[in-house]
């Protein structure tokens, strides 16, 4: 059996092992279940070992099959990535691509990048799903998930986890809140203010600021906490306190006079933008989109 044939057989076996059904695997591979059955028999015969226990209702992996699946799944994924790596990035894409992202991404920097990408690939059917939930929580419903903040590569359900850019953050509050509150001239003054934090877990009330070579960490407090960026911005604009916000989110409100930056000159850590490519996605289209996004965010950061 040739090397190419071996890889193709691995891909067939992996799909059947994932679906645990010839019918479902056949739909994915566009192959008749009877053809898949014969192919699997030939694979087992060539290997001299039984990989699957097949019945009329379900397919189960044998001990050897489970071991072969664990190894061959990674190998077939690497083969797909290698194949995609040599495809031209500027190819004309077609078909459907579903991208999930937090609402604050789509309402900020993402809209211009998306419109530029679809103009470059007019045959592509692009669906952008914006949600206040973390997009990585439902990997089976999309091809690429974007998230503000780092993603644990070991915990994420995806074929690929990649940091594609960063977002600048600053401290913001409403003018009305600042007018009725204690003076705010140095980071240590934050301890006298109501600060809207990301959560109550340890460390989420520690704000790290830097000016030139000077770094400081302030333990802040407040009666409000939320992991949703848009809600933190809304609460700050309603005069409840000070919040750490991505600049592109706060700008939408500061233009209306609702929010102003505080402690200007003090920088906060950059927020990572991460992309998770679903295992079920077309790696070609997903990879091209992720690389496009990364290049545009890098260019934007350099401007």
Q: What is the pLDDT of residues 121-154, one digit of tens each?
A: 898 888 888 775 544 455 557 888 888 776 665 4
What contacts 130, CB < 8 A, 6 or more positions away?
Answer: 100, 101, 102, 103, 105, 106, 107
With cut-offs at 50, 70 and 90, classify the pLDDT of residue 266: very high
Chain CA centroid to CA 219, Å: 29
pLDDT at 187 over 60: yes
Comparing CA positions, the residue from 46, 281, 43, 266 lying closest to residue 168 is 266
**223-230: long-range contacts (C-beta < 8 A, 24 or more apart)?**
223/194, 224/194, 224/196, 224/197, 225/196, 225/197, 225/198, 225/199, 225/200, 226/196, 226/198, 226/199, 227/198, 227/199, 228/132, 229/102, 229/104, 229/148, 230/103, 230/104, 230/107, 230/132
Helices (H), 146-282: 175-180, 229-237, 247-254
Query: Token digits for 17?
Result: 């092992």
CB 265 within 8 Å of CB 192: no
Pick the CATH number of 3-85 from 1.20.1050.10, 2.170.150.70, 2.60.40.10, 1.10.10.10: 1.10.10.10
pLDDT of residue 154: 47
Comparing CA positions, the residue from 98, 99, 231, 233 lying closest to residue 169 is 233
Mean pLDDT of 162-188: 92
- Does CATH number 3.40.190.10 belong to domain 169-269? yes
Report the range out of 42-56, 64-78, 127-141, 200-214 with the highest average pLDDT.
200-214
d(C-alpha 234, C-alpha 178), whole Å: 16
With cut-offs at 50, 70 and 90, classify the pLDDT of residue 156: low
**Tokens 């986890």 found at:** 161
* Coil/strand/helix, residue 90: coil
- In CATH terms, are 3-85 and 95-168+272-302 the same topology? no
Pick the CATH number of 95-168+272-302 from 3.40.50.720, 3.40.50.880, 1.20.120.1200, 3.40.190.10: 3.40.190.10
Residue spans of the domains in the chain: they are 3-85, 95-168+272-302, 169-269
């Amino acid at each position: 059996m040739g090397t190419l044939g071996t890889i193709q057989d691995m891909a067939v076996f992996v799909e059947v092992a994932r679906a645990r059904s010839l019918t479902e695997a056949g739909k994915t591979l566009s192959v008749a279940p009877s053809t898949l059955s014969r192919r699997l028999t030939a694979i087992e015969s060539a290997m001299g070992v039984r990989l699957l226990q097949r019945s009329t209702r379900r397919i189960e992996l044998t001990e050897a099959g489970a071991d072969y699946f664990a190894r061959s799944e990674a190998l077939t994924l690497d083969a797909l990535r290698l194949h995609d790596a040599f495809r031209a990035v500027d190819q004309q894409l077609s078909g459907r691509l579903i991208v999930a992202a937090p609402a604050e991404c789509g309402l900020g920097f993402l809209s211009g990048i998306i419109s530029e990408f679809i103009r470059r690939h007019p045959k592509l059917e692009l669906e952008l799903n914006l949600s206040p939930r973390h997009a990585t929580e439902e990997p089976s419903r999309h091809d690429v998930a974007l998230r503000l903040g780092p993603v644990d590569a070991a915990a994420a359900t995806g074929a690929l986890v990649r940091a594609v850019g960063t977002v600048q953050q600053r401290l913001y509050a409403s003018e009305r809140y600042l007018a009725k509150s204690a003076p705010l001239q140095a980071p240590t003054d934050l301890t006298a203010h109501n600060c809207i934090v990301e959560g109550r877990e340890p460390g989420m009330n520690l704000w790290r600021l830097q000016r030139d070579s000077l770094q400081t960490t302030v333990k802040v407090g407040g009666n409000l906490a939320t992991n949703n960026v848009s809600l933190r911005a809304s609460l700050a604009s309603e005069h409840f306190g000070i919040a750490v916000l991505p600049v592109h989110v706060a700008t939408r409100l500061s233009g209306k006079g609702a929010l102003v930056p505080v402690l200007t000159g003090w920088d906060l850590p950059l927020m990572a933008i991460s992309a998770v490519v679903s295992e079920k996605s077309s790696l070609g289209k997903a990879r091209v989109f992720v690389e496009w996004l990364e290049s545009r965010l890098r260019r934007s950061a350099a401007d």
